[in-house]
Amino acid sequence: MVFTLTQIAEVPSRLTRRLNAHGGPDVVIRPLVHADSGQLAQFLAALSAETSRFSTFDGYDLAAAQDLCDAIGRYDKLRLVLEEVPSGRIVGLLEFSLALTATDIARYQDAGIRITETTDCRFGATLADDYQGRGIGTLAFPLVREVARLLGKSRIILWGGVRADNFRAIRYYEKNGFHAVGHFTEADGSLSLDMMLHLSPEPDARSLPARRTDS
Ligand SMILES: CC(C)(COP(=O)(O)OP(=O)(O)OC[C@H]1O[C@@H](n2cnc3c(N)ncnc32)[C@H](O)[C@@H]1OP(=O)(O)O)[C@@H](O)C(=O)NCCC(=O)NCCS
């Protein structure tokens, strides 16, 4: 069954998970809500120069955070936050876009791949600097696959690609099933990669209970 963004927003518990990596504080992943703007602004403002070069936002202040919250349910975007428990601090943002730009379509066409808004969605992930490299992005990934499947997609592409010198992110995407399909030059002359993930039709086996072998 395929869900619309509105139907998904109506049942936020469907997209809520509690994670723990390496004995640190628990982290709850859940849809972004309007009340998050203050915490989200703090998350954006605290991103290091390197992280904000790798994950670019329109701004890093309260106005930018409010814009992201104002977009809830209004356009083609779905955003999930990672909230540290019990502090309530936002430590990550997972973003989906159901729209493809003409530039995306042309780039993939150059690589011999036809992407469409029926089959493909765009995805990007940003964790707070002190949460990177701790396995949280990978723990969150079964939910990323699930969101794309709920939206009826069979593939996920990277929103804006990934910079070729972003070695951790490339490793992260590769280990979660993406493969590079092409490269392109950014406005500043640096190189980025386009990467794509093919979703299997079934829910992620790792999120299912273990199969019994004694019967
Ligand atoms: C990219 C990101 C979402 C990944 O989430 P994460 O929780 O840090 O990723 P994980 O810890 O699950 O996996 C990272 C992998 O990269 C490896 N890694 C870490 N630093 C690395 C480096 N400098 N070079 C190569 N691999 C590196 C880790 O060892 C791990 O692989 P392993 O499990 O095989 O050991 C997160 O790091 C992030 O937000 N980075 C900044 C913003 C960004 O770059 N976003 C992506 C924009 S396209």
Coil/strand/helix, residue 155: strand
Say what the pLDDT of residue 182 is: 95
Q: What is the mean pLDDT of the chain?
A: 92
105-162 pLDDT per residue, tens: 999 999 999 999 999 999 999 999 999 999 999 999 999 999 999 999 999 999 999 9
CA distance 174 to 178: 5
Ligand 1 mutation target, pool 172, 175, 190, most atoms within 8 A of CB: 172
The matching CATH number, chosen from 3.40.50.150, 3.60.10.10, 3.40.630.30, 1.10.357.10, for 5-203 is 3.40.630.30
Parallel/antiparallel/unpaired status of strands 155-158 and 120-127: parallel
Is residue 51 pLDDT above 50, yes or no?
Answer: yes
Task: Please state the atom number of ligand 1 nearest to the C-alpha of residue 159.
Answer: 48
The beta strands (E) that lie in the chain are given as 17-19, 27-31, 77-84, 90-97, 120-127, 155-158, 162-163, 179-185, 191-198
Backbone angles phi, psi at 180, to 5 degrees: -75, 135
The alpha carbon of 108 and the centre of ligand 1 are apart by a number of angstroms equal to 24
92-120 pLDDT per residue, tens: 999 999 999 999 999 999 999 999 999 99
Say what the pLDDT of residue 202 is: 65
The alpha carbon of 215 and the centre of ligand 1 are apart by a number of angstroms equal to 40
Contact 59, 66 (CB under 8 A): no
CA distance 57 to 148: 22
Is 134's C-beta closer than 6 angstroms to any atom of ligand 1? yes
Task: Please state the atom number of ligand 1 nearest to the C-alpha of residue 169.
Answer: 1
Contact 44, 65 (CB under 8 A): yes
Residue nearest to atom 22 of ligand 1 (CA): 168
Contact 2, 152 (CB under 8 A): yes
187-210 pLDDT per residue, tens: 899 999 999 999 987 655 444 443
Domain ranges of the chain: 5-203
Is 93's C-beta closer than 6 angstroms to any atom of ligand 1? no
